[in-house]
Structure 1
Amino acid sequence: MGNNDFNCSLSANISAAEAIKKISNVPAWWGVAFSGSAEKPNDTFTIKMGGESFFNFTVTELIPGKRIVWLITDCNMPWYADKKEWANTRLIFDLNEHNGITTLQFTHEGLTPEVECYKDCAPGWTHWINTSLLSYFTTGEGVFRAPTK
């Protein structure tokens, strides 16, 4: 992981096991068209954000109560010059539970300020993790918003 990779964190009164279960229920907090499964290693799923856009994921790591890693195996981001900008990047969810409070450190490995989508993707991830996922952890409901593009 590089120092420039996008990251953000949150803490919530939830067990790490429950947090992993909720992260794996992608449409409940990301608010996207979802097909497939994100519940165990080697699961594959696809996210669509409208039009011709898509993102294919594989769950490459799942350590119960500790970590989830999703590899983006292919994508089409038609609104950018490099339509494959997210391909071969990873979404990493590291969890640490202490006294009933779970801290989540989220990293999009490969999403750095040098890539074209950073100006849109960084505020997008900040919303999806710090607002929507946190809300899903604490209230059972994600907070959806229109895509940035």
Structure 2
Amino acid sequence: MSADYTATITVSKTPAEVYDAINDVAGWWGRITGTTTAKDDEFVYVVPGLHYSGFRVTELEPGRRIAWIVTGSYLSFVDDTQEWNGTTVRFDITPSGDGTQLTFTHEGLRPEVECYGACSNAWSTYIRGSLAAFLETGVGQPNFFEGDEALEAAEHETLRHRIEGAGAALNAGWPTSRVTNMPGDQQAG
């Protein structure tokens, strides 16, 4: 099996500053619904018409590590629209000379999964571009949509129900192939 996607940057900031910037998701990735600052916090990130992902914070070690598990997702541009379900996004922070090295890993995003090309390209843009700029200059290039489309979509009850359902299945130890009731699923009847 191939290696998980990783991206590494080194910035002239302290580990504490890098940790704080990662948790300011709106500064480098985009608006979310929910919070990211305590273990077990949950949040949703939406790109209207393209994808959404629900996350739960699983690790928070100030100045060292942040990890989020994907509790539910929908990727409109691949056949397996739920292939992110159960994957983990991890940020490892280490001092490096006069700065800090950040290694981003999306565990489960490997070359053999369908979204690897598009998803690894997007993560590279956000980590090496937006997050690096946010850390060095205070200004990232996050996604924002007109009319708060992402926030409205993330707050929509049906979307919340689907993400919570997927999260419940993962918490119960079900394999991700058993997570259902996502957009595009065939309904019985």
Given the two structures, how large is their TM-score scaled by the length of structure 1?
0.90
Whether 1:21 aligns to 2:36 is: no
Question: Hey, which of these two has a bigger chunk of helix by percent?
Answer: 2
Q: Residues 5-84 of structure 1 correspond to what in structure 2 (within 5 A)?
A: 5-31=4-30, 33-51=31-49, 53-84=51-82
Per-residue deviation at 1:52?
A: 6.5
| Equivalent in the alignment of 2:112 | 114
Tell me by how many angstroms 1:39 deviates: 1.0
Q: Within 2, Cα distance between the matches of 1:145 and 1:39?
A: 20
- Write the letter of the residue equivalent to 2:105: T
Tell me the distance in 2 between the aligned counterparts of 1:43 and 1:131.
26
Between Structure 1 and Structure 2, which shows a larger proportion of strand residues? 1
Residue type matched to 1:87 in 2?
N
1:127 corresponds to: 125
Amino acid at match of 2:77: W
* Identical-pair percentage: 35
- Cα distance in 2 for residues equivalent to 1:66 and 1:26: 17
Say if 2:99 is the partner of 1:101: yes
1:53 alignment partner AA? H
| Residues 34 and 47, structure 1, Cα contact 8 Å, conserved in 2 | yes
CA distance in 1, matches of 2:130, 2:115: 20
Matching residue's letter, 2:114: E
Question: Conserved in 1, the CA contact under 8 Å of 2:10 and 2:96?
Answer: no
Shift of 1:27: 1.6
Greater C-alpha radius of gyration? 2
Q: Where do 5+ consecutive residues of structure 2 fail to align?
A: 145-189
In 1: Cα distance, 2:66 partner to 2:91 partner:
5
1:44: Cα distance to partner? 0.6
Q: CA deviation at 1:64?
A: 1.0
Please give the alpha-carbon distance, in whole angstroms, between the structure 1 residues aligned to 2:6 and 2:82: 21
Residue 99 of structure 1 and its aligned partner are, at CA, apart by: 4.4
Structure 1: tracts of 5 or more residues without a match: none
Runs (4+) of structure 1 exceeding 3 A deviation are none
The amino acid of 2:124's aligned partner reads T
Contact 1:21/1:39 (CA < 8 Å) preserved in 2?
Answer: no
| 1:52-98 Cα distance to aligned partner (Å, 9 max, x none) | 73100001001111000010010111221111010100011000024
What SS does the corresponding residue of 1:47 show, helix, strand or coil?
strand
For the 8 Å contact 2:42–2:54, the answer to whether it is kept is yes
Q: Secondary structure at the match of 1:91?
A: strand
